[in-house]
Amino acid sequence: MVKPAYPVKWPLEAALASAGLLLLLPACLVIAAAIWLDDRGSVFVRQTRVGRGGVPFGVIKFRTMHPVVQLDLHRQATVTDNRITRVGRVLRATALDEIPQLLNVVRGEMSFVGPRALLPQEIEVDPRSRYHRIEDVPNYHVRTSVTPGLTGLAQVYAPRDISRQKKFKYDALYVRRMSLWLDLRLIALSIFISLTGRWPRRGRAVWQRRTG
């Protein structure tokens, strides 16, 4: 059974997102200039994402990949992915490419905290290089039972290049333990990551401690 969101979740997150958009406007201008100067390509990229209950919605992100490979998005990016631009590596390391999605939080299509919003028909590649539908990965439907978020347990604590099956375990854990305190903790950690580019200790030890 899915744990319902606490009553103040959306009003609190919408207020934080509105304040964030105003405070981060100067940073957005700097980021936009850096992206354009890097390769003279578009600053933003529009994508369709899957929301709660599998309902699609549109998002805008700062572009982090080369324009010629922007259509090749159904394969999960890795740390050394050659599709990512120089500026894009910095934006991904600090999660600053997600800033425009604060608009989706204000509109109620996303939460500040929740499972990452996936692309429609995204695929997973197993260790044998076989392709699988993302919908067939265990816990997919658990994670889509709640509103997707800008940050979350998986985004903060899961190593970037682990399989979706392992990341979805973090998402399922968040769905079960969702609370105001947990959300505030993850928001604070995410702000720290964006300001410093440093992540909390990630990996198996963290996962074991948090599921014990």
Domain locations in the chain as residue ranges: 9-211
Q: What is the pTM of this model?
A: 0.80
Choice between 5 and 106, residue whose per-residue pLDDT is larger: 106
b/e map of 94-129 (b: 16 or more CB within 10 Å)? Answer: bbbbbbbbbebbbeebbbbbbbbbbbeebebeeeee
Q: What is the pLDDT of residue 73?
A: 53
The token pair that represents 34 in the structure block: 């850096």
The token pair that represents 104 in the structure block: 């989706």
**Per DSSP, what are the bridge partners of residue 56?**
50
Looking at the predicted structure, is the pLDDT value of residue 150 above 70? yes
Q: What is the pLDDT of residue 31?
A: 96
